[in-house]
Structure 1
Amino acid sequence: MRHVQHVQPQFWEFGRGPVVDVPHSRIHHAFERWAARTPHAVAAEHQGATITYRELDRRAERLAEVLARRGVRPGDHVGLFVRRSIPMLIGLLATLKAGAAYVPQDIGIAPRSQLRHVMRTAHTRVVLTQHRYADRVPARGREAGTEPVRVVIDAPDGVPAPTGSTTGRPAPASGTGPDAPGGGPDDACYVLFTSGTTGTPNGVTVTHRNVRNILLTHPGDLGIEPGMRVAQLLNIAFDMAAWEILGSLSHGATLVIRGKDIAETAHGADVIIATPTVLSTIDPVHCARVTVVAVAGETCPRPLADLWARHCTFYNACGPTETTIVNTMHHHRPAAGPLTIGRPTPNNTVYVLDENRRPCAIGETGEMWAGGDCVSAGYLGNPGLTAERYAPDPFLGGGRMMFRTRDLGRWTPDGELEHLGRTDEQVKVRGFRVEPGAVSAVLETVPGCSRALTLQRDPDTLVSFVCPLDVDPEAAQRAVADALPYYCVPDTVRPLAALPETGRGKVDRAALLRLAAEGGGGT
Structure 2
Amino acid sequence: MTQVHDPYPRVTATDHLPDADRRLFRQFGWGPASSPTHRLIHHPIEEYAAAHPAAVAVEHLGETLTYGQLDRHAERLAGVLAGFGVGPGDSVGLFLRRSLPMTVGLLGTLKAGAAYVPQDVGVAPAAQLRHVMRTARTKVVLTASDVAGLVPVPEGVALVNVDEVMSGALPAGPAQAARRAAAGRRPAVPDDACYVLFTSGTTGTPNGVVVTHRNVCNLLLTEPGGLGIRPGLAVAQLLNIAFDMASWEILGCLAHGATLLIRGRDIAATAERADVLIATPTVLSRIDPARCTRVRTVAVAGEPCPRPIADTWAGAADFYNCCGPTETTIVNTMHRHTPGTRLTIGRPTPNNTVYVLDDRLSPLPMGEVGEMWAGGDCVSAGYLDNPALNTERYAPDPFRGGGAMMFRTRDLGRWTPEGELEHLGRTDDQVKVRGFRVELDSVSAVLESVPGCRQAVTLRRDERSLVSFVTPADVDTDAARRAVSAALPYYCTPAEVHALDALPVTARGKTDRAQLHRLAAAGPVPAPAPVMSAVAQGVVS
Tell me, yes or no, whether TM beats 0.5.
Answer: yes
* Alignment of 1:212 onto 2:217: yes
Letter of the aligned partner of 1:369 in structure 2?
Answer: W
Contact 1:71 1:172 in 2 (8 A): no
Equivalenced residues, count: 507
The residue that corresponds to 1:92 in the other structure is 106
Contact 2:14 2:363 in 1 (8 A): no
The residue that corresponds to 1:314 in the other structure is 319
What does the per-residue CA deviation read over 1:469-509, in whole Å, with 9 as the maximum and x for residues that have no partner?
Answer: 11111111100000000000000100000000000000000
CA–CA separation in structure 2 for the residues paired with 1:147 and 1:463:
49
CA–CA separation in structure 1 for the residues paired with 2:199 and 2:266:
26
The residue that corresponds to 1:153 in the other structure is 162
The residue that corresponds to 1:475 in the other structure is 479
106, 120, 129: which one aligns with 1:106: 120
CA–CA separation in structure 2 for the residues paired with 1:197 and 1:16:
30
Deviation at 1:158, TM superposition (A): 1.4
The residue that corresponds to 1:37 in the other structure is 51
CA–CA separation in structure 2 for the residues paired with 1:506 and 1:344:
23
23, 38, 41: which one aligns with 1:9: 23
* Alignment of 1:175 onto 2:182: yes
Q: Structure 2 stretches of 5 or more lacking a match?
A: 1-9, 172-176, 527-541
* Alignment of 1:26 onto 2:35: no
Question: In the superposition, relative to structure 1, how do residues 2 and 431 fare at CA in structure 2: closer, same or farther (>3 Å)?
Answer: closer
TM-score scaled by length of structure 2: 0.92
The residue that corresponds to 1:486 in the other structure is 490
Q: Is the partner of 1:424 in helix, strand or coil?
A: helix
CA–CA separation in structure 1 for the residues paired with 2:156 and 2:181:
27
247, 255, 259: which one aligns with 1:254: 259
* Alignment of 1:56 onto 2:63: no
CA–CA separation in structure 1 for the residues paired with 2:221 and 2:453:
37
Q: Is the partner of 1:4 in helix, strand or coil?
A: coil
The residue that corresponds to 1:225 in the other structure is 230
CA–CA separation in structure 2 for the residues paired with 1:473 and 1:128:
49
The residue that corresponds to 1:298 in the other structure is 303
Question: In the superposition, relative to structure 1, how do residues 5 and 446 fare at CA in structure 2: closer, same or farther (>3 Å)?
Answer: closer
CA–CA separation in structure 2 for the residues paired with 1:228 and 1:171:
36
Question: In the superposition, relative to structure 1, how do residues 74 and 521 fare at CA in structure 2: closer, same or farther (>3 Å)?
Answer: closer
CA–CA separation in structure 1 for the residues paired with 2:511 and 2:491:
24
Question: In the superposition, relative to structure 1, how do residues 311 and 509 fare at CA in structure 2: closer, same or farther (>3 Å)?
Answer: same
The residue that corresponds to 1:289 in the other structure is 294
CA–CA separation in structure 2 for the residues paired with 1:455 and 1:160:
53
What does the per-residue CA deviation read over 1:152-182, in whole Å, with 9 as the maximum and x for residues that have no partner?
Answer: 10129813659xxxxxxx9688525xx8514
Deviation at 1:518, TM superposition (A): 1.8
The residue that corresponds to 1:268 in the other structure is 273
The residue that corresponds to 2:206 in the other structure is 201
CA–CA separation in structure 2 for the residues paired with 1:181 and 1:512:
50
The residue that corresponds to 2:421 in the other structure is 417
Deviation at 1:521, TM superposition (A): 5.0
* Alignment of 1:237 onto 2:242: yes
CA–CA separation in structure 2 for the residues paired with 1:306 and 1:220:
21
What does the per-residue CA deviation read over 1:234-274, in whole Å, with 9 as the maximum and x for residues that have no partner?
Answer: 00000000000000000000000000000000000000000
432, 435, 438: which one aligns with 1:428: 432
Q: Is the partner of 1:155 in helix, strand or coil?
A: helix
Please, which moves more after superposition, 76-85 or 146-155?
Answer: 146-155
CA–CA separation in structure 1 for the residues paired with 2:125 and 2:214:
31
The residue that corresponds to 1:166 in the other structure is none
The residue that corresponds to 1:119 in the other structure is 133
Between the two structures, name the one with larger relative contact order (CA 8 Å, sep ≥ 6). Answer: 2
Contact 2:412 2:427 in 1 (8 A): yes
* Alignment of 1:71 onto 2:80: no
Q: Is the partner of 1:251 in helix, strand or coil?
A: coil
Question: In the superposition, relative to structure 1, how do residues 13 and 158 fare at CA in structure 2: closer, same or farther (>3 Å)?
Answer: same
Contact 1:152 1:160 in 2 (8 A): no
Question: In the superposition, relative to structure 1, how do residues 218 and 127 fare at CA in structure 2: closer, same or farther (>3 Å)?
Answer: same
Q: Is the partner of 1:91 in helix, strand or coil?
A: helix
185, 188, 191: which one aligns with 2:190: 185
TM-score scaled by length of structure 1: 0.95
The residue that corresponds to 1:348 in the other structure is 352
Q: Is the partner of 1:212 in helix, strand or coil?
A: helix
Letter of the aligned partner of 2:402 in structure 1?
Answer: G
What does the per-residue CA deviation read over 1:366-421, in whole Å, with 9 as the maximum and x for residues that have no partner?
Answer: 00000000000000111111111000000110000000000000000110000000
Letter of the aligned partner of 1:418 in structure 2?
Answer: E
Alignment of 1:403-414 (within 5 A): 403-414=407-418
Question: In the superposition, relative to structure 1, how do residues 9 and 433 fare at CA in structure 2: closer, same or farther (>3 Å)?
Answer: same
Q: Is the partner of 1:27 in helix, strand or coil?
A: coil
CA–CA separation in structure 1 for the residues paired with 2:108 and 2:225:
24
Contact 2:73 2:165 in 1 (8 A): no
Alignment of 1:324-339 (within 5 A): 324-336=329-341, 338-339=342-343
What does the per-residue CA deviation read over 1:282-334, in whole Å, with 9 as the maximum and x for residues that have no partner?
Answer: 00000000000000000000000000001110000000000000000000010
The residue that corresponds to 1:451 in the other structure is 455
121, 131, 136: which one aligns with 2:145: 131
Q: Is the partner of 2:168 in helix, strand or coil?
A: coil
Alignment of 1:360-375 (within 5 A): 360-375=364-379
Percent identical pairs in the alignment equals 67
CA–CA separation in structure 1 for the residues paired with 2:368 and 2:187:
44
Deviation at 1:147, TM superposition (A): 3.8
Letter of the aligned partner of 1:227 in structure 2?
Answer: G
Deviation at 1:33, TM superposition (A): 1.2
Q: Is the partner of 2:218 in helix, strand or coil?
A: helix
Q: Is the partner of 1:113 in helix, strand or coil?
A: helix
What does the per-residue CA deviation read over 1:66-114, in whole Å, with 9 as the maximum and x for residues that have no partner?
Answer: 0001221221000000100110000000000000000000011110000
The residue that corresponds to 2:465 in the other structure is 461
CA–CA separation in structure 2 for the residues paired with 1:157 and 1:208:
26
CA–CA separation in structure 1 for the residues paired with 2:164 and 2:178:
22
Please, which moves more after superposition, 64-73 or 295-304?
Answer: 64-73
What does the per-residue CA deviation read over 1:207-227, in whole Å, with 9 as the maximum and x for residues that have no partner?
Answer: 000000000000000000000
What does the per-residue CA deviation read over 1:409-447, in whole Å, with 9 as the maximum and x for residues that have no partner?
Answer: 000011000000000111000000000000000000001
Deviation at 1:137, TM superposition (A): 1.2
